[in-house]
């Protein structure tokens, strides 16, 4: 499926790649989806004929179940549970400032490997939105591993204003990390003040 020329259309449902008895296809999936993102998910090896500016394809590597899932998802739905909410923001905030190697589940929604303001803008545009919900993968007991991987302990902010404030905090923390890595040189790459 990942290698034949025809590829696969995913307008709904989910594609589950079980790697319990094989090698993890995550890198291949990431590569194919990065290519398809550049084509609006309307072409490429894995496609979503219903893709538009708010819905593309997301994916998640469920290491506990040894499954990679690919499914239509709202941009911003890092957890692939059909909703864009604080759990997704927490993923993005935790990885904010990453410049390469990040994946959808970490908040890279435009498949460039970085987690930055472009990704936050995509999440913000769909915040509190509900997209395609795949039975068995969403808000039911069938996805405890994904739920467990989520961060939902913090109080849930109801407005984007609060999210922006929290993001500014995350950005400041990321800048601090970079300063530490760069031997104390002052460095701030995002145009946000400290919260």
Residue given tokens 């500016």 in the structure block: 53
Exactly one of 48, 79, 126, 143 binds Ca ion (CB under 5 A); that residue is: 79
Structure tokens at 150: 């989520």
Say if CB 107 and CB 92 are below 8 A apart.
yes
Structure tokens at 172: 């400041």
Exactly one of 36, 93, 114, 172 binds Ca ion (CB under 5 A); that residue is: 114
Stretch that binds Ca ion, among 1-9, 13-21, 82-90, 134-142 (CB under 5 A): 82-90
Q: Where are the beta strands (DSSP E) in 54-185?
A: 55-62, 67-74
Stretch that binds Ca ion, among 4-12, 29-37, 107-115, 161-169 (CB under 5 A): 107-115
Exactly one of 57, 61, 108, 172 binds Ca ion (CB under 5 A); that residue is: 108
Exactly one of 55, 57, 72, 81 binds Ca ion (CB under 5 A); that residue is: 81
Report, in Å, the least distance between residue 46 CB and Ca ion: 18
Say if CB 123 and CB 109 are below 8 A apart.
yes
| Number of Cβ within a 10 Å radius of residue 173 | 15
Report, in Å, the least distance between residue 91 CB and Ca ion: 8
Say if CB 174 and CB 96 are below 8 A apart.
yes
Exactly one of 47, 61, 69, 119 binds Ca ion (CB under 5 A); that residue is: 119
Report, in Å, the least distance between residue 3 CB and Ca ion: 26
- Interatomic CA distance for residues 66 and 184, integer angstroms: 41
Exactly one of 88, 98, 123, 192 binds Ca ion (CB under 5 A); that residue is: 88
Q: Please, which residue, 61 or 108, has the CB nearer to Ca ion? A: 108
- Interatomic CA distance for residues 11 and 29, integer angstroms: 17
- Under the binding rule (CB under 5 A), the answer on residue 77 touching Ca ion is yes
- Under the binding rule (CB under 5 A), the answer on residue 110 touching Ca ion is yes
Exactly one of 66, 112, 130, 169 binds Ca ion (CB under 5 A); that residue is: 112
Q: Could you report how far apart the first and last alpha carbons of the chain are, in Å?
A: 47
β partners of residue 15 = 70
- Interatomic CA distance for residues 39 and 17, integer angstroms: 23
**Residues forming the site for Ca ion (CB under 5 A):** 77, 79, 81, 83, 88, 108, 110, 112, 114, 119
């Amino acid at each position: 499926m990942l290698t034949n020329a025809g590829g696969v259309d995913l307008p709904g449902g989910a594609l589950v790649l079980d790697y319990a008895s094989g090698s993890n296809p995550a890198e291949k999936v990431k590569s194919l989806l990065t290519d398809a993102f550049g084509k609006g998910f309307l072409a490429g090896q894995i496609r979503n004929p219903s893709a538009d500016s708010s819905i593309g394809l997301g994916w998640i590597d469920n290491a506990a179940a040894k499954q990679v899932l690919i499914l239509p998802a709202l941009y911003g739905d890092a957890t692939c549970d059909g909703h864009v909410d604080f759990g997704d923001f927490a993923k993005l905030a935790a990885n904010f400032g990453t410049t390469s190697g990040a994946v959808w589940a970490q908040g890279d929604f435009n498949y460039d490997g970085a987690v930055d303001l472009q990704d936050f803008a995509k999440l913000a545009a769909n915040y509190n939105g509900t997209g395609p919900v795949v039975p068995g993968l969403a808000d039911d007991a069938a996805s405890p591993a994904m739920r467990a991987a989520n961060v939902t302990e913090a109080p849930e902010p109801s407005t984007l204003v609060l999210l922006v404030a929290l993001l500014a905090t995350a950005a400041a923390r990321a800048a601090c990390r970079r300063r530490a890595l760069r031997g104390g040189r002052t460095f701030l790459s995002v145009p946000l003040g400290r919260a």
